[in-house]
Structure 1
Amino acid sequence: MALSRYNGMQENMPNTFSSMLDRFFNESVNSRNFTDFTPHVDACETEKGYEIEVSLPGVKQEDISIDFQEGRLTITGERRLEKKEEGRRFHMLETQYGSFSRSFYLPDKVNPDQISASFENGVLLVSVPKDEQKTMKRQINISSGSENKKESKKVETRETATAENGRAKKS
């Protein structure tokens, strides 16, 4: 028995170029799952808040929903496959169709009442501003000691009195 190097592809490789093309088109079109897809997202932080851009070409504005609950921003929607002509036979179909849902956990310093969204040219832009009250820098004063120490200092100053010659005298 001869040893041969195994790379996991010998069993699945087609014998001819023609069979490779047939397999490619059959597997890419016929086995495609049209129930869901994951849109591409760009998210960034600015001084004033967070911005989330979602690429949604072919999705209608009325098919998009945005919810915010317990620190989680969720964007859901659906891109439908519209049948334009009967009798068409796709050889390649790379566009994803179906429902989608993307969730983002945001920090506590956001202001949920000011979240806004706009949809233009297939791009959804969600702006989440930071809450200025929560992000503002504050100086915290430090108190020294307890109230008892302050009172005892006051008592000591009352007990000492100055004599006529300038020396301290206890009364």
Structure 2
Amino acid sequence: MLYKFLENGKTNTIWRDFDRLNEALTRSFLEQDPVRPNSYPPLNVYTKEDDAFVYAFLPGMTIEDIDLSAKDNVLVIRGTKKEEALAENTEVYLREIFNGDFSRSVEFPFRIDADKVTASYKNGVLGILVPRAEEDKPKKIAIKIANQ
């Protein structure tokens, strides 16, 4: 059957249709932002008994573009990643780097002491120390020897 298909000269039309479909699908994927705003910036989060460390990867941004807040047990990183300016007559061939507004929340298993949160930014990495609220820290209870 396939051999007859090829003999009848219809192959060109079928392969042209497949090429058009492939081209349309490729174009539709390239036009989408592959990184969703709810997964940007990428984070590494480490916790210890009394605090946590958050590393947010924000290359190409300035601290003026980033907003950091904390309340209860949630740390929020917000900002705007500006799109790079393109030279005249330049078309985007492939876009994998996220641009635009973003907001990322990290919920911790403890209450945060928002007044003691500290952050520093160097080489595109935002490092955040998130201390556990004093009232949320486990209290050591002394055990007395009972009289027998």
Q: Secondary structure at the match of 2:90?
A: coil
What pairs up with 1:22-41 in 2 under 5 angstroms? 22-30=23-31, 32-33=32-33, 37=37, 38-39=39-40, 40-41=42-43
CA contact under 8 A between 2:81 and 2:99: conserved in structure 1?
A: yes
How far the C-alpha of 1:28 sits from its partner, in A, is: 2.9
How far the C-alpha of 1:48 sits from its partner, in A, is: 4.1
Bigger helix fraction:
2
Match of 1:83 among 85, 88, 96: 85
CA contact under 8 A between 1:116 and 1:128: conserved in structure 2?
A: yes
Q: TM-score, normalised by structure 2?
A: 0.69
Q: Give structure 1 regions of 4+ aligned residues with deviation exceeding 4 angstroms.
A: 140-144
Larger Cα Rg: Structure 1 or Structure 2?
Answer: 1
Q: Distance in 2 between matches of 1:67 and 1:99?
A: 16
Q: Spell out, residue by residue over 1:91-125, the C-alpha distance to the aligned partner (whole angstroms, 9 max, x if none).
A: 11111111111112234454322110111111111
Going from structure 1 to structure 2, the CA distance change for 1:120 and 1:88 (only over 3 Å counts) comes to same
Q: Distance in 2 between matches of 1:142 and 1:101?
A: 53
Q: Distance in 2 between matches of 1:58 and 1:135?
A: 40
Match of 1:15 among 7, 18, 35: 18
Q: Distance in 1 between matches of 2:62 and 2:26?
A: 29
Q: Percent identity?
A: 26
Matched residue, 1:125: 127
Q: Distance in 2 between matches of 1:109 and 1:33?
A: 34
Q: Distance in 1 between matches of 2:47 and 2:92?
A: 41
Match of 1:55 among 34, 41, 57: 57
Matched residue, 1:97: 99
RMSD over equivalenced CA pairs, Å: 2.9
Going from structure 1 to structure 2, the CA distance change for 1:66 and 1:100 (only over 3 Å counts) comes to same
Match of 1:139 among 132, 142, 145: 142
Residues 1:111 and 2:113 are matched in the alignment: yes
Q: Which amino acid is 2:87 matched to?
A: E
* More off after superposition, 60-69 vs 123-132: 123-132
Q: TM-score, normalised by structure 1?
A: 0.61
Matched residue, 1:159: none
How far the C-alpha of 1:142 sits from its partner, in A, is: 9.6
Matched residue, 1:166: none
Flag structure 1 segments of 5+ consecutive residues without an equivalent. 1-13, 145-171
